[in-house]
Amino acid sequence: MMIEVPDSARTARTAAEADLAADDSALGAASRWATGLLTAADVASDESMAGRLVPAFLGKHPRGFSATLEEWRTKGPFTVEAYRPVAHKSWVDLAGPTGERYTLAVTIDSTGLVRVVHLQPEIVIPEVRSWAELEDRLRIPGVDYSVLAARLEPGRTVILHETAADRPMPTGSSYKLYVMRALVHAIESGELSWDDEVTVRPELRSLPTGDMQELPDGTRVTVRETAYKMIAMSDNTAADLIADRLGREAVERAVAVSGHHDPSLLRPFLTSREVFELGWGPAELRKAWTERDEAGRRELLRQIARPLTVDISDLGETVHHLGLDWHMSAYDVLEVLRALAEDSARDASGIVEGILAAYPGVPIDHERWPRALFKGGSCPGVMMFCWLLEDRAGVPHVLVLQQAAAEQKLIGDGQLLRGFGARVIESDLLDGPEARRAETDPEPAP
């Protein structure tokens, strides 16, 4: 493969290689470096790679990341077929010598260091030309799903398509939308400012996604940077730090005022650390959680207000059926997205918009959709993606895709569902014929 990589005089030959070579962003540099690891003459040593990786990266590879690289390189030599950068993530599609196709995924942190490098067989996303075709793709034995597509016109919501959109489903990290709403309220009321700080403490440190869990105890980070990481990078520790600063009751109020159809489903409002501890810690914690009422559950949360006793390797069995997740219907998601868009419109500083629009989840045609807000969520057995897309006329459109299953393997790593979202956004389905009109008022959608 001919590709321009650091310290190489070779030049790009294909359009995809040219795109990768021309990206002068931190993500572009990281993606070229990661691709170069697969194409260089020799396997890089862990020591030589350490300066490009977040400090915790090599610790997650007990055999050494160079050993993993050596395995990957046996599938080559590779040719770059496509390069798809989105904010802090990129996907480099590669072809092997006999036509096998792979995707190299790269994620960087806010400093440009590489947080994730992963090679896997390419997941081919079929075309989606109709809502019926999307439904056919989502019908997987053992997997529940919901779909909602809507246009938010003044005074009414035009429903373009829906399936089980009023069914509460676990949503993983999408709970951070409510934390963001509570934060915006605190900023608007003067209780907090963007320049205030949160402090990393052992009892608030969560598990990935994100990288703030790797910061030393006592590290102080501004509310603005923490909120950015919470939304753009779905940083769990960032969300828990913000929620701790606001207080659980403030987030619970945000759930209610954001139009959730049954706020009791999110009371007490859980932090990510609490879900990890209850879900995959001692079995007696899960038993206590399922047997107790709301007051008893709040007491249980006080009892586990301590550093985590579980690690990422402990996660496996699904626990969302025990209420250990954040249950929202697709209509609930629509309402909180609508509310956040309104919050952003009120914010003259542009900070709220900058946070919400920092990561659109998939490549977006900004000529067609000048504004794109996105949030994804996952947990064992849970996957969801949602977008608020504003067209050139300023009309918002919402797309929500949700999946839940008893086993993670039925859902996979989310690339398929994310890809279906991208296919719908690329198509004309969001501009298509109206299936149903629903007049809206201040009350939440049914």
The answer to whether 384 and 404 have CB atoms below 8 angstroms apart is: no
DSSP state letter for 429 = G
Cα 262 to Cα 154: distance, rounded to the nearest angstrom:
25
Q: Virtual CA dihedral for 74, 79, 85, 91, nearest 10 degrees?
A: -30
With CA atoms as reference, report the closest residue to 311 among 270, 271, 269, 273. Answer: 273
Whether 44 shows a pLDDT value over 50: the answer reads yes
Residue pLDDT, tens place only, 145-198: 999 999 999 999 999 999 999 999 999 999 999 999 999 999 999 999 999 999
Q: Which domains does the chain have, with CATH numbers?
A: 15-121 (3.10.450.280), 131-201+212-268+323-439 (3.40.710.10)
The answer to whether 426 and 365 have CB atoms below 8 angstroms apart is: yes
Residue 419 zone, left/alpha/beta (φ > 0; ψ -120 to 50; rest): alpha
Average pLDDT, the chain: 92
Cα 372 to Cα 426: distance, rounded to the nearest angstrom:
13
- Percent of the residues in the chain that have a pLDDT greater than 70, as a whole number: 94
Residue 403, judged by CB atoms within 10 A of its CB (0-12, 13-18, 19+), counts as buried
Residue pLDDT, tens place only, 11-32: 445 788 889 999 999 999 999 9
Whether 109 shows a pLDDT value over 90: the answer reads no
One-letter amino acid at 378 equals: S
> What's the pLDDT score for residue 13?
55
One-letter amino acid at 87 equals: A
Residues 6+ apart with CB under 8 A from 40: 5
Residue pLDDT, tens place only, 195-243: 999 999 999 999 999 889 999 999 999 999 999 999 999 999 999 999 9
> What's the pLDDT score for residue 187?
98
Whether 5 shows a pLDDT value over 50: the answer reads no
Q: How confident is the model at residue 10 (pLDDT cuts 50, 70, 90)?
A: very low
One-letter amino acid at 167 equals: R
pTM of the model: 0.87
> What's the pLDDT score for residue 111?
87
327 beta partners: 170
Cα 413 to Cα 403: distance, rounded to the nearest angstrom:
12
Cα 150 to Cα 148: distance, rounded to the nearest angstrom:
7
Least confident of 311-315, 372-376, 387-391, 392-396: 311-315
Cα 400 to Cα 398: distance, rounded to the nearest angstrom:
7
Q: How confident is the model at residue 442 (pLDDT cuts 50, 70, 90)?
A: very low
> What's the pLDDT score for residue 224?
98
Residue 109, judged by CB atoms within 10 A of its CB (0-12, 13-18, 19+), counts as buried
DSSP state letter for 270 = P
Q: How confident is the model at residue 433 (pLDDT cuts 50, 70, 90)?
A: low
Instruction: Select the more confidently predicted residue: 419 or 4.
Output: 419
Helix, strand, or coil (residue 140): coil
Q: For 59-67, what is the mean pLDDT?
A: 89
Element (H or E) spanning 372, and its range? strand 371-379
Whole-Å CA distances, 237 to 72, 211, 276, 308, 330? 32, 8, 12, 12, 25
Residue pLDDT, tens place only, 256-266: 999 999 999 99
Angle 110-209-187 from CA coordinates, rounded to 5°: 65
Residue 148, judged by CB atoms within 10 A of its CB (0-12, 13-18, 19+), counts as buried
Composition of the chain by helix, strand, coil, percent to 5:
40, 20, 40
One-letter amino acid at 149 equals: A
Task: Show the tokens assigned to 395.
Answer: 């009309």
